[in-house]
Chain A
Amino acid sequence: MQNGNIKHIWQLLNTIPDPEIPVISIVELGVVRDVNLKDNLYTISITPTYSGCPAVTAFTNDIKKCLKENGFRNFKIKLVYAPAWTTDWMSKETKEKLNNYGIAPPSKIVICPQCNSKNTTLISEFGATACKAFYKCSDCLEPFEAFKCI
């Protein structure tokens, strides 16, 4: 039963979208590191993405809201710092979701999400959110955002 609840919590967390990139969940993003149960208290460990990402506060509030709505009362959210979050934790499926949404997924070679060209140029290392850089495709000429590889 208790293990079932942990699985259920993971499933619930997987329904919480990233506040800035709603096509992927906070689980897919790699923010949720662990869910465990000790002395009747569930601990959800999360790790910040970029230090300056304002979404971390939003994650915390969304998790609280979601779990409360689903009948969980005895839980706490713990912020863990090590190991530092990395884009390597994103699965291939998650990267595909980003690509379909128009954001080039984290990768050494940045590929245009519109025309799949590798002929792309960095415009700025900084985009509309902490996690994204700004690129331009030199073939289809469309500007696009790319997830920073860290």
Chain B
Amino acid sequence: MSNLFTYTIRIADSALILGQRMAEWCSNGPTLEEDIALSNISLDLFGQANGFYEYAAQINGEKSADELAFTRNEREFFNYQLVEQTNGNFGKTIVRNFLYDSFIFLFYTELANSSDERISALAAKSIKEVKYHLRHSKNWLIRLGDGTDESNKKVQDALEELWQYTGELFEMDTIDTELMKKNIAIDVSKLRPKWNEMIDSTLKTAKLNRPEDGYMASGGKKGIHTECLGFLLAEMQFLQRAYPNAKW
């Protein structure tokens, strides 16, 4: 696998897996408007994932975009562990998405300057949508944090639970550094100060406490995952596994 291929599917995988999590909300949203919102975000994420998978399939002709999504095993997925975490209650979903949305907004903003034209174009397109995904998760976090004692407790608990998955967002490995030399990849470790600012100001408005940095999980980019991913893939890939090449 070339570095460019791996770099591209890493981005696609995080979008796809979070998209699948959001799709689980379809018909289970707390209100009709929210149900539509969560499913719409899911569609945007699938669209973004598809753009990157199509490019990956072009770089390495072995698998099509659909095959990349539906016929790889858990250890072959390179998404961040944060995005595979279960939806839990609505508050937990909002916390997970806010932590990710604020990161990925900064990520795509930088990536839009990539020397790889296709990656740059896909990033520039994705920013437009991530902007309103971030507004959505941020506004809900503020309403829930600064809401009732119960809503505040639920989102604070979710923050404590999910904080350990934020460390790997800023990790660099040799694939990143190699591609950085060609100005294709970006230095994610440099996004941290801006991310900290976004998180701190929103948590303050939301009357939430920033968790202490403790143990940080790691490994998503190398294919190491929490047990949540296997269950998600089992559901998402069932049809193509049971009926290979089935079409609508």
Q: Is A81 an interface residue (CB 8 A)?
A: yes
Q: Is B47 an interface residue (CB 8 A)?
A: yes
Which A31-67 residues have C-beta < 8 A from chain B?
48, 50-54
Which B180-235 residues have C-beta < 8 A from chain A?
none
Give the residue of A81, A126, A128, A148 whose beta carbon is less than 8 angstroms from that of B125.
A81
- A contacts with B: majority SS: loop
Residues in B with CB closer than 8 Å to A82 are 117, 120-121, 124
Asked whether B37 lies within 8 Å of A124 as measured between CB atoms, the reply is: yes
Residue of A nearest to B46 (CB): A52
Residues in A with CB closer than 8 Å to B51 are 51, 81
Q: Is A123 an interface residue (CB 8 A)?
A: yes
C-alpha gap A73/B224 in the complex (Å): 49
Give the residue of B36, B47, B118, B120 whose beta carbon is less than 8 angstroms from that of A51.
B47
C-alpha gap A81/B42 in the complex (Å): 20
Contact with A along B128-171 (1 / 0, CB 8 A): 11001001100000000000000000000000000000000000
Which B1-57 residues have C-beta < 8 A from chain A?
33-34, 36-37, 40-48, 50-51
Residues in A with CB closer than 8 Å to B34 are 124
C-alpha gap A34/B173 in the complex (Å): 40
Asked whether A125 lies within 8 Å of B132 as measured between CB atoms, the reply is: yes
Asked whether B47 lies within 8 Å of A50 as measured between CB atoms, the reply is: yes
Q: How many B residues touch A, CB cutoff 8 Å?
A: 28
Give the residue of A125, A128, A130, A134 whose beta carbon is less than 8 angstroms from that of B136.
A125
Residues in B with CB closer than 8 Å to A52 are 40, 42-48, 129
C-alpha gap A126/B39 in the complex (Å): 9
| Known pairs A51-B44, A52-B40; A84 contacts B128 (CB<8 A) | yes
Which A105-150 residues have C-beta < 8 A from chain B?
123-128, 130, 134, 148, 150
Residue of A nearest to B15 (CB): A51
Asked whether B33 lies within 8 Å of A130 as measured between CB atoms, the reply is: no
C-alpha gap A82/B126 in the complex (Å): 12
A interface bracket (residues with beta carbon within 8 Å of B): 20 to 34
Residue of A nearest to B55 (CB): A81
Residues in A with CB closer than 8 Å to B136 are 125-126
Residue of A nearest to B133 (CB): A125
Q: Is B106 an interface residue (CB 8 A)?
A: no
| Known pairs A81-B122, A82-B117, A84-B128; A48 contacts B37 (CB<8 A) | no
Residues in B with CB closer than 8 Å to A124 are 33-34, 36-37
Residues in B with CB closer than 8 Å to A128 are 36
Asked whether A53 lies within 8 Å of B47 as measured between CB atoms, the reply is: yes
Asked whether B125 lies within 8 Å of A51 as measured between CB atoms, the reply is: yes
Residue of B nearest to A56 (CB): B47
Determine how close the nearest CB of chain A comes to the CB of B41; give it in whole angstroms: 8
C-alpha gap A36/B125 in the complex (Å): 24
Asked whether B36 lies within 8 Å of A150 as measured between CB atoms, the reply is: no
Residue of A nearest to B19 (CB): A52
C-alpha gap A126/B34 in the complex (Å): 8
Query: Which are the 6 A-B pairs with shortest beta-carbon distances?
Result: A51-B47, A52-B43, A82-B121, A81-B121, A52-B47, A126-B37
Would you mind naming 8 contact pairs between A and B with Cβ atoms under 8 Å apart?
A50-B43, A51-B129, A52-B48, A52-B129, A82-B124, A125-B37, A127-B36, A128-B36
Known: A124-B33, A125-B136, A126-B40. 19 other contacts (CB 8 A): A50-B43, A51-B51, A51-B125, A52-B45, A52-B47, A52-B129, A81-B51, A81-B121, A82-B121, A83-B121, A84-B121, A85-B125, A86-B128, A124-B37, A125-B135, A126-B33, A128-B36, A134-B33, A150-B129
